[in-house]
């Protein structure tokens, strides 16, 4: 049963993750927090850092639900993994999504390796 399976690390899900495009951080216009807006403007990831984020992340097939926060700031790009091309979006609160056509995969990172790569880490509310 997939719901009972532990989340997989991206490194386990793919032999290699190659980031082929990475965009600057973008602040969601719905956001109203000036401190987050300022932090978002300074947040950057290069291709190696984005790949590192995904290697340390775990896939959450049923979504991340309440285990992670959300911030109105994200970095989008494109990557190659498992022989497919994916559009991705990394949220500044340590979650991400890969999309290829109708397929979407959700990721979250609780690993200390992600701490310098995001603006907000989860606080331990991951559940069982």
Please report, in angstroms and rounded to a whole number, the separation of the first and last CA atoms in the chain. 16
The percent of residues in the chain predicted with pLDDT above 70, rounded, is 84
**Average model confidence (pLDDT) for the chain?**
88
Number of folded domains that form the chain = 1
The answer on pLDDT for 91 being more than 60 is: yes
- Whether residue 128 is contained in a domain is answered as no
- Whether residue 3 is contained in a domain is answered as no
- Whether residue 47 is contained in a domain is answered as yes
- Please tell me the predicted confidence (pLDDT) of residue 125: 57
- Whether residue 54 is contained in a domain is answered as yes
Residues 6+ apart with CB under 8 A from 17: 10, 11, 51, 54, 55, 79, 80, 81
- Whether residue 127 is contained in a domain is answered as no
- Whether residue 71 is contained in a domain is answered as yes
pTM of the model: 0.84
- Whether residue 38 is contained in a domain is answered as yes
Categorise residue 65: left if φ over 0, alpha if ψ from -120 to 50, beta otherwise.
left
* pLDDT tens-place string over residues 97-125: 999 999 999 999 999 999 999 999 998 65
Residue 103 lies in domain: 15-117
Phi, psi dihedrals of residue 78, rounded to the nearest 5°: -140, 145
């Amino acid at each position: 049963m997939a719901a009972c399976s532990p989340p997989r690390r991206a490194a386990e899900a793919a032999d290699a993750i190659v980031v082929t495009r990475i965009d600057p951080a973008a602040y969601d216009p719905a956001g109203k927090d000036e401190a987050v807006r300022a932090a978002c403007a300074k947040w950057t990831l290069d291709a190696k850092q984005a790949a590192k984020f995904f290697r340390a992340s775990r896939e959450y097939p049923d979504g991340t639900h309440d285990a992670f926060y959300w911030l109105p700031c994200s970095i989008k790009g494109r990557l190659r993994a498992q022989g497919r091309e994916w559009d991705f979006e990394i949220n500044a609160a340590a979650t991400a999504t890969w999309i290829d056509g109708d397929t979407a995969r959700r990721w979250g990172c609780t690993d200390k390796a992600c701490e310098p790569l995001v603006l907000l880490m989860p606080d331990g509310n991951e559940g069982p």
